[in-house]
Structure 1
Amino acid sequence: MAMESKVLSEALVAWSAGHLASVDQSYETTALEARSIALNALAKAVMSPADSISSHETNTAACLVLLTSEVCQGDRAGWYNHLMGAKHIIESAKCTGLSSKAIITGPEVFKQSPEGQWVLRNFAYHDVLASVTLGRPPLINAEYLEGITDVVDTYLGVASEVLTFISEASSHGHDMLFAVSSPDEPVPETTKQQFAASLEAYLEVKQKLHDWRCDASAKPELAAVAYAYRSAALIHVYRRIRGLLHLSQSMNHTIHSEEYMNGVIASISAGLKFQAGQLLAHVSKIPLNDIPESALLFPLFMAGGEVDPTDITLLDMIRNRLRMILEKRNFINVLSALEILEELWDRKTKHASQSSNLDTVADWEDVLKAQGGLLLLT
């Protein structure tokens, strides 16, 4: 693709120059020049788009390359602009279908070619994982992945389908569920129904994840990555359920009895710790410095947010894996993620003697919010 597209080739040069500059300061000026050239080329391409499938593919790919460049160099906000740009290019794409004269639009345009499908999986990887740390729905619901995940993907191996479940959990918002009624007033029947619908939606995603299996013929290390992502996705779903229940309690709008709600929350907490343990067991099957290790930032971070901070063995496993990934690749978002976990573990350890429920003490979302930046775990 890059050999046929100036905008994509310039983006790749900018990515390479930026990465060189991160390990050798003598390349800083070169990196800035390359980034400026790449942004200018992308701006020109977007301002005068062609209606060919290949132009949509390469323009989107250029956005995603620039996004990863920003993330790897430690940017905590600008990468989101590139993600938004990729989203707009995907949604605005249109062309005549290959097998008919009908006009197709959006992600369906990209599904017409293997390169376009790769771009969609690439976009989904960044968009869906961003939805977890941003606490908002994906920019595009990942249902477009249907039919294009039965390959060994360059990012997630055989785990791409898991992104659809994470997207489904992130897309179901409940933050405004109790915003209308006063805590002193009876819970409206409509709110009870919405609460039940939200809980049911999360439980359905949870069941889908429990039922999911990767391709039985997958290599052991790729299967381990896939199941680590499944556990990370389950952690995300459990956290969403816990957030819904805590929201209800904080507004004094307990739909069920307090005893029942506390029991459910305790069950969720146990499920979180169990999945964190399962996740790390899968990670332990992936050889150190093996290529699949490059995909482990997201699952390691999700496990790190739920493990017992007094379990030094688990903490060291997460810490050492992240340090090794950072040392090998020098991607600064790995360092940012590790620093957030270290701060979280420190907070929980300090409060361990004061409260038996560490879930109420601190969460990685609190640490991230206090830092005021955005974090992308890709």
Structure 2
Amino acid sequence: MTKPSRFTFTPTGQSPGVTDRPIRRRFAVDGRVRSGCLTCKARKKKCDGQLSSPDGRCRSCVRLGLVCEQRPLRRVATRPSRRKAGGEQEITNLQPSRDDSDSTSQATSSSTDNDDKVAQRTGTLVSSKPSIPVVSGSWDGIERVLLRYFLDHVAPLCSILQQDGSSFCSVLLPMAIVDPSLLHALFAYASFHFDATAPTVPVTPEARLNFENQVTRGVAEAITKNAVTETTVACALVISTAEVIRGDTSRWLLHLQGAGHLVNHLGSSRLLRTTDGAFLLRYFAYHDIMASLSTRRRTLMDGAYWAQDVNATVDSADSFTGLAHHVFRHLADICAFVADTSDLDSSSCSDRRSRDALRAEDMAQALRTQDLHLQVDPSDSYMAALIHHAESFRFAALFYLYRHLLRFCDAGAVYRLRMKDCVQQILQHVSQVPSNLFCEIGLLFPLVIAGIGSGDDVGTTQYIRNRLTYIETWTKFKHVGRARDLLQMLWDNGRTDWEVMLAELGWNLSFA
């Protein structure tokens, strides 16, 4: 009898005992967590994913007292149709791919051929409905559209110079590349103007709120960390200007005052050291002076701090003041005088009234005789229009000063005659500025002043109304419409006390 062998046959490629136990897969443990909140993921800890607390935090974050950051919800975008008929280019989805491990995504701009037509002036300077494709349901798509819209349509309107949008782009875009807060400020600026054109698919309130929150968060973080830079100033200025053209009557002034604090923190001497800083300083100074004229307060900073040399000759036009640099020096002084004497009336101390009246006469004489110190060709039609723009500001400022003197000076008849002459001079110079130039954008303050002083002249009021309506039509700047409405209410009620009317309405208007 043969003995059973101790060995059993096993198939080739298997070792003894393989079939005796189930196959178990081993998982590599490298500390990565692919689900749960972003806070636990950053700590490389397992998240229970149970958001049962009242504030929506997971149990781990509640236990450790941490901020439980969740992934933002994403909206599914509909796939655009693909067609090549009629010579049209194929529309492709330009959304960048998203990695689940990334909590944020950056918008990228893509250039396409022949997808925008050049805005043509057929009665208006900017087309009312720009031919820009709107990508709905995608943050990245909206941001691309708004950035292109800002470059093509908004930036040119930020200057009173013809085709000067490149100056804004050359300063703001490099800053926006390194600071997302400024980029979102440009998105917000463009979204306000974009909606004014009545697009087929407007920017959603959620998208605009997201832009504003990003700007607020970035500026607040810079202030908290004592890391205020030129870019921080630019954020505040852009948001303030965006609120102005939106027709806001309160928030724009708060943003401008915030920009003033940031400028004061950095100091004008520091900003003047760089080209971008000097540009932002002129940007702020212009809007600060225009706001001071309408709100009758002192400018946030005194003097001609925006200029390297106060008495320098003007050989080129500025994006904000044109050729009126030396006139704007006096505007700041007049604003300070009006604020300092706001408590004076006919019953005030005679000595103080006489003293302040002499001070005002000196200011008026200095403004009347101020030379523009120009080194430009006055025969050039474009430069001639800018000269008329500067002169209209000169006489508007004189009217503003004379009207204030009526509050406490005895020579009221003399000042009324001077005011009447100022209105005639303003209208004469404004009429010399063609309606097809960007220089017309800067005529809001002179037109408002002329409207205040000519309420009893039907022909003049009709001209001013039509001019303001035309400016609002092609710029889509809603604060121009607010100014026109203010004048209309004054004319309808036979009033000239525009400051009281603004107080009754609860409006803060910018004459920028």
- Superposition TM-score, scaled by structure 2 size: 0.60
Q: Which residue of 1 aligns with 2:209?
A: 32
* Structure-to-structure mapping, 1:258-269, within 5 angstroms: 261=410, 264-269=411-416
C-alpha distance in 1 between matches for 2:480 and 2:336: 26
Match of 1:221, SS state, is helix
Q: Which residue of 2 aligns with 1:196?
A: 354
Q: Which residue of 2 aligns with 1:343?
A: 489
Match of 2:305, SS state, is helix
Match of 2:429, SS state, is helix
Q: Which residue of 1 aligns with 2:403?
A: 239
Deviation track 1:208-259 (CA, whole Å, cap 9, x = no partner) reads: 11112321525101101111111111111112212232xxxxxxxxxxxxxx
Compute the displacement of 1:177 (Å).
Answer: 4.5
Compute the displacement of 1:69 (Å).
Answer: 0.5
Pairing 1:285–2:437 present: no
Q: Which residue of 1 aligns with 2:499?
A: 365
Equivalent residue letter for 2:400? H
Q: Which residue of 2 aligns with 1:9?
A: 183
C-alpha distance in 2 between matches for 1:11 and 1:49: 20
Equivalent residue letter for 1:9? L
Structure of greater relative contact order (alpha carbons < 8 Å, 6+ residues apart): 1
Q: Report if the CA contact (8 A) 1:17-1:34 is conserved.
A: no
Q: Which residue of 2 aligns with 1:100?
A: none
Q: Which residue of 2 aligns with 1:251?
A: none
Compute the displacement of 1:155 (Å).
Answer: 1.6
Q: Which residue of 2 aligns with 1:298?
A: 445
Which of residues 313, 322, 347 is equivalent to 2:459? 313
Deviation track 1:50-94 (CA, whole Å, cap 9, x = no partner) reads: 3xxxx632221221110010111111000111111111111111x
Pairing 1:116–2:291 present: no
Q: Which sits farther off after the overlay, 292-301 or 34-43?
A: 34-43
Q: Which residue of 2 aligns with 1:65?
A: 238
C-alpha distance in 1 between matches for 2:501 and 2:343: 23
Q: Report if the CA contact (8 A) 1:169-1:240 is conserved.
A: no
Which of residues 300, 304, 313 is equivalent to 1:139? 300
**More helix by proportion, 1 or 2?**
1
Q: Report if the CA contact (8 A) 1:232-1:299 is conserved.
A: yes
Q: Structure 2, unaligned stretches of length 5 or more? A: 1-170
- Superposition TM-score, scaled by structure 1 size: 0.80
C-alpha distance in 1 between matches for 2:354 and 2:231: 44
C-alpha distance in 2 between matches for 1:88 and 1:317: 40
Structure of larger gyration radius = 2
Q: Which residue of 1 aligns with 2:471?
A: 325
Q: Which residue of 1 aligns with 2:257?
A: 84
C-alpha distance in 2 between matches for 1:28 and 1:140: 37
C-alpha distance in 2 between matches for 1:120 and 1:244: 35
Pairing 1:209–2:209 present: no
Q: Which residue of 2 aligns with 1:19?
A: 193
Q: Report if the CA contact (8 A) 1:145-1:164 is conserved.
A: no
Q: Structure 1, unaligned stretches of length 5 or more? A: 94-105, 246-260, 349-360
Deviation track 1:12-59 (CA, whole Å, cap 9, x = no partner) reads: 121011211233372133333222222222222332243xxxx63222
Match of 2:229, SS state, is helix
C-alpha distance in 1 between matches for 2:342 and 2:480: 29
Deviation track 1:246-304 (CA, whole Å, cap 9, x = no partner) reads: xxxxxxxxxxxxxxx2xx20111111121111011101111112110111111111111
C-alpha distance in 1 between matches for 2:420 and 2:331: 18
Q: Which residue of 2 aligns with 1:273?
A: 420
Which of residues 129, 144, 159 is equivalent to 2:290? 129
Q: RMSD of the TM alignment (CA)?
A: 2.0
CA pair 295-143 structure 1, distance change in 2 beyond 3 A: same
Q: Report if the CA contact (8 A) 1:133-1:375 is conserved.
A: yes
Which of residues 174, 189, 195 is equivalent to 2:341? 174
C-alpha distance in 2 between matches for 1:161 and 1:57: 25
Q: Which residue of 2 aligns with 1:374?
A: 508
Q: Report if the CA contact (8 A) 2:345-2:408 is conserved.
A: no
C-alpha distance in 2 between matches for 1:148 and 1:22: 40
Q: Report if the CA contact (8 A) 2:472-2:481 is conserved.
A: yes
Q: Which sits farther off after the overlay, 221-230 or 56-65?
A: 56-65
Equivalent residue letter for 2:174? M
Number of equivalenced pairs = 323
Match of 1:27, SS state, is coil
Q: Report if the CA contact (8 A) 1:74-1:332 is conserved.
A: yes
Compute the displacement of 1:146 (Å).
Answer: 4.3
Compute the displacement of 1:317 (Å).
Answer: 1.4
Compute the displacement of 1:178 (Å).
Answer: 6.7
Q: Report if the CA contact (8 A) 1:157-1:222 is conserved.
A: yes
